[in-house]
Amino acid sequence: MQIVKVWPLGFASNSYFLTENGRDAVAVDAAQPRLLREAERRGLCVRCVLLTHGHYDHIGGCAALQAAGAKIACLREEEELALGEGNLARAFGVSVPRFSVDLTFRGGEELSLCGMRISVLATPGHTAGSVCFLCGGDLFTGDTLFCCGAGRTDFPTGSGAQLSRSLRMLCSLLENYTVHPGHGEDTTLDAERRLWI
């Protein structure tokens, strides 16, 4: 599997393209509309966007990718937040182009997309419907876990107690996964365990 990290321009989240064959791709989060151009520039066709959660800085590119044929997917519990006031776009004075959620999934599901198996780990805390995605040796953590930090819990549906449980669950995973967070630099799970256990 090849992973392409797309850094944001200005304030937004990291976005990632995952591809097994170098043509068909899954995006983890779609921060900005320019993600479509970035995919095309690399010869990738994004078939599905997996959202780690529904905040505006992770969903700004969903409409552009959906218009080009991608399916948008999130945890069932996160759909309302992503499409409503809970995405915080209005609160931060940002406009997010309208899109719809095509598919929902549950924590514990294993998705088969573009020749890749991607496990959904429910990690509530930053929002009630936050998830992480595990694919091979790579863990995509959204705003649950960062390099030397964790997500805020003071936004709608956030919970410090839930986030603490989610972090302990991630730290209980047996492998030393490469962690690809929603903001900042990549890290490893071994490097982060010492902060949370």
How far is it, in rounded angstroms, from Cα 98 to Cα 175? Answer: 38
Give how many domains the chain has, as a whole number: 1
- What residues make up the domain containing 80? 2-196
pLDDT attached to residue 58: 98
pTM value is 0.96
Overall average pLDDT of the 43-50 stretch: 98
pLDDT one-digit tens code per residue, 112-168? 999 999 999 999 999 999 999 999 999 999 999 999 999 999 999 999 999 999 999
CATH of the domain at 180: 3.60.15.10
**Residue 89 predicted with pLDDT over 70:** yes
% pLDDT > 90, the chain = 95
Q: What pLDDT, on the 0 to 100 scale, is given for residue 196?
A: 72
Q: To the nearest whole number, what is the mean pLDDT of the chain?
A: 96
- pLDDT for the residue 197: 63
**Percent above pLDDT 70 for the chain:** 99
Task: Over range 63-85, report the average pLDDT.
Answer: 97
1-40 pLDDT, tens digit each: 999 999 999 888 999 999 999 999 999 999 999 999 999 9
